[in-house]
Structures are given as structure tokens and as C-alpha cells.
A and B are shown apart, each in its own frame.
Chain A
């Protein structure tokens, strides 16, 4: 597998390269079973289905999925902590919880079988990134209630690779471990990968001092421009991995060597793209909100979960040989989206412009409102290569960036040039946006 000249392997080829017809049979059979089970065991689902006049008998194949009610984050909060569990607690062997950054935390549970299929999903992702049982997998996602650390750990072990549970934080120590232990695969958030890369260079090392060949980065949206930056600085190939605590954690979807989107592990999680306003299912190739249904999980088999992530799916066979449905990198989250002077703005759009113009992906967006007029300020760190000695030069530079942003966003943004390392770094999910407008409450 090393060297990249051999044909890429699959972890479960019979699933990953199944025909669409085969997949439909698998999905239909599993969906029917899961719907029956939650209807019988979870009052929440039964009530919602009864309200819509749907019974398990109405679900005859995957084509009937659209008849089922949606579930929202609010449903998880309303049933907190265990109201949506579909097995008795004695069968639950693991709990995880969401970080609660966007409200009250939510709790999910796993049976032994759930843990096993989760590890399978992550092992598929690792294999697609070129990882084998000979690799050293450095996991810098937090270990704990957050699904990132233990999820990636489980996948690496399932594959027979060596898991290094570094967890997040203490970046200088991360570098020492990367060097001394000879880690070959890095798992963390993309913003933390960039921070590790910067710290590596600050400590006087280069990518030649470490052995990383691949990175598996997820838990927050990131752009292809950021990918290139991380790849150049760490000397690795960067793969995206997608997941949500509510569905299972990392491993819902993963990128292959094509790096053109993520394959969804659709034998476990059925994906739909819907119009977020009407709830209608949209045709393949159309952008909309991603909705997932778990069809194999026992403890927490959420159905038609509204993720708020925005993406596009396609079902053509990928040149990597996989037939698993593929989704584009999520463009953003419906709840990440800023509405500034009535214009929809995604942080990822700003990031794309910054990196194109030679800035790093460390930036901060400050939104404020004065006299009923929204203002947006983009703070970027200047690098020595970008430094022009004259006021005129720096003003011109800020103006060029502001004009670049205007082309993409359609609104004027004020650009503030900052010193390196003056913006906060995150060890988990990056906080890019400071919204000072008090629009809520």
C-alpha cells in the first residue's frame, strides 16, 4: 500500500463496490426492520408516526423512506437523556455526548454491535486513505465524551494499525510524539492540523522530520485550499471524514484517493438531500440539507435526522471503484451561515478567498450591527512574505483582499491585518465567527 503505486484497497469490498440494486436490497431490508423496532420500542417514534398516520407496514422499501417524519436536534433535547434509546440500558456498552456548543448537550448510546459497526465504518475510511495494519495512527481528536477520539481509535484498532491515543492539546508534545513515535497517519480537526503544522515549523522542524503520509481530518467544514496548505506543510495527503454524534460519530462518510467528495457508508446510514424549507427530497446533484437515517444501529437508530449540513450527493461509480453514494464536502451548515445585510455568507467562502490570496486559514470574522447596519470585519494574519514596507502597500493589500471578498460575497468587508499567531488557535473545532449583533432573545 505504501508508495501509492498499487491499487487502492477496500476494507469491505462486497459492500463498498456493491451494485445499486444490491445496495437497495440491503437498505430496504434493514430499514424495514429498524422502523418496526423503533415503532415498537420508542414512544417518541411511535407518536411521531401516528401523528403522520404512518405505520411500519407502510414502509415496504427504501423508496418509502420519505413517508417517515423528520427528527431534529430539538427532539434529542426534548427526550434527553435516554428517551430515544431503542434498547434497554443493560445492552448499552458506551455513551457519548455532543459538546453542547450550540445548546444543551445530547447523549447517544451504543451496543456492542454498534461499536463494532462503527469501527468497521472508520476502518473503511482509514483503508481508503491508504492505512494498513503496519501504520501508526496518531489520534489528536479529544478522547472522552466527544466521538472523535474513541471513534478514530476504534477504526485504527479494527484495522490492526497501531493507535496512539494522544488526544488534543499540548501541541509541542504532539510534535515530539509525531517525531519520536514515527506516526504515519494523523487524525484531528483540519484547523488543529494547521496549528500542528505551524508549531512544527515554529519549533524549527520541517515535514522531513516527521513520517506522516496521510491525514484524516473532520468534525468541521474546511476548504480545498486549506487542504493544500496542510498537505504542503505536513507532507501528507489529507482526507476528509464526515460524521455526527447523532448518527454515530466519525465514519458516516469518508474520502477516497480521488479527494472529490465523501462516500457515505450507506449500508448503515441512508442519506437524503432535502429542501430545508419544504422538506421535499431533492434530486441527486441538487444542493440541499443532508438528512441521515441509521438502519443498522441498535441503541440509537435515529431516522431522517436533519443535520443542518448543506451538500450535494451523486450516485455515479467513483473512479476509485466504490459505488457508495458520494457527497460533496459540506459547503457549510445552515446554522453556520451568516446573514449580513440580507446576504447569505458562509465562512468557507471567506476562507477560499484568503487562501487564494496567500493568507493562512487562520482568520476571524467579526460581525456587528451599528445603527441597524450590519458590518463584517475579516481579521487575517499577515505573513512575512506578504509584508510590504509602506503604509500605501499595506493599505493596498487590505483593499485587494476586501475587493476579492466582495467579488465572492457581494458585500463590502473590512479587512484588518494582524500579526502572526495573534488570532486564537483551537485544539478542537475552530471558532471562526464572532457575532456581536444581539439578534436573538
Chain B
């Protein structure tokens, strides 16, 4: 399990710039990022170097922030790598709420961030199916 930071983004210009500036000013590194957007609002999801510090800094700026848990799964960095991983998940009836990619230089595998629809036993099921989850510490996340 890895801690993820989610930020509520009201639909107005400059909002994402201001969130990322706050993180920069507090010396926080963004390791992965994705945005879910709708007509009225968006959710910015990130893996950052120090999730508690980030939560505190953004809360001070009146941002709505929540910290929740996601899984980082190792994916072979070659054609068909992701398709294979997703097929295994599908066969094991693991449903995905959302996913996005994480850049980590210097490893052979690629990493994907997953939020599964049902967290219970998911780690066991992944392991049984030969899928490798990566702990936050290995990614330099606090």
C-alpha cells in the first residue's frame, strides 16, 4: 500500500498551478500525478515525497485534501506488458476504480498506480497471480 494525496479542484483557472506551487514552496516532490475531471470539478491525485507535509501545506491554503491508499504494481516495460497485467487482474476478478502511471528512472520495469474497487485480500490475490506490488519506501515516498 502506498499513500496517495487527493485534492478537490474547483473548476477555475490557475487552480492546479497554485496547488503545484504550494508543493514546490514546501520542497515537496511530485512522483506521479493524474486528474479526473468533470464539468463542475476535478480531483487531482498525486504520489508525493512527503504526504503529511503536503496535506498540511495544502490545507493551510484552504484546499480540500484527503489521504488514501493505493497500490503500485510493477509492469514489464515492453509491448504487451500492461495488457498482460490487466488480463491477470481481470481473470482474478479484481476490479479497478482508476489507474495512472508513475515515472521511476533507473528501473527496468514500469510502475502503475492502482486503486482497486475492493481492497480486501487484493494483495494476496495479486501475489498469487505473480504480480509484484512496490512499497512506498522503495519509491522514496513518505
Chain A interface (Cβ within 8 Å of chain B)?
382-384, 387-391, 394-395, 398, 416-422
- Docked Cα-Cα span, A230 to B6, in Å, equals 29
- Docked Cα-Cα span, A418 to B9, in Å, equals 9
Does B43 lie within 8 Å of A390, measured CB to CB? yes
Name B4's closest neighbour in chain A (CB-CB).
A389
By a CB distance below 8 angstroms, the chain A residues around B41 are 394, 417
By a CB distance below 8 angstroms, the chain A residues around B6 are 387, 389
Does B43 lie within 8 Å of A391, measured CB to CB? yes
User: How many chain-B residues does the 8 Å CB contact rule pick out?
Assistant: 19
- Docked Cα-Cα span, A395 to B62, in Å, equals 21
Name B67's closest neighbour in chain A (CB-CB).
A389
By a CB distance below 8 angstroms, the chain B residues around A419 are 8, 10, 62-64
Does B40 lie within 8 Å of A417, measured CB to CB? yes
Does A384 lie within 8 Å of B66, measured CB to CB? yes
Partner of A390, one of B10, B40, B65, B98: B98
- Whether, in the assembled complex, B38 has its beta carbon less than 8 Å from a beta carbon of chain A, the answer is yes
- Docked Cα-Cα span, A388 to B36, in Å, equals 13
- Whether, in the assembled complex, B26 has its beta carbon less than 8 Å from a beta carbon of chain A, the answer is no
By a CB distance below 8 angstroms, the chain B residues around A391 are 36, 38, 43
- Docked Cα-Cα span, A387 to B63, in Å, equals 11
Query: Mind listing 25 A-B residue pairs with CB under 8 Å?
Result: A382-B64, A384-B59, A384-B65, A384-B66, A387-B6, A387-B8, A387-B65, A388-B66, A389-B6, A389-B43, A389-B66, A389-B68, A390-B36, A390-B97, A390-B98, A391-B36, A394-B38, A394-B43, A395-B38, A398-B40, A417-B8, A417-B40, A418-B10, A419-B63, A420-B64
- Docked Cα-Cα span, A418 to B97, in Å, equals 24
By a CB distance below 8 angstroms, the chain A residues around B97 are 390
By a CB distance below 8 angstroms, the chain A residues around B43 are 389-391, 394
Q: Mark B4-27, 1 if CB is under 8 A from A, else 0.
A: 001010100000000000000000
Does B64 lie within 8 Å of A384, measured CB to CB? yes
Does A387 lie within 8 Å of B98, measured CB to CB? no
Partner of B62, one of A390, A416, A420: A420
**Most chain B CB within a 10 A radius of its CB, from A382, A389, A398, A416:** A389
- Docked Cα-Cα span, A416 to B65, in Å, equals 18
- Docked Cα-Cα span, A391 to B62, in Å, equals 20
| B114 CB, nearest partner CB in chain A, Å | 13
| B2 CB, nearest partner CB in chain A, Å | 14
- Docked Cα-Cα span, A434 to B64, in Å, equals 25
Name B59's closest neighbour in chain A (CB-CB).
A384
**Most chain B CB within a 10 A radius of its CB, from A382, A383, A394, A419:** A419
Name A386's closest neighbour in chain B (CB-CB).
B64
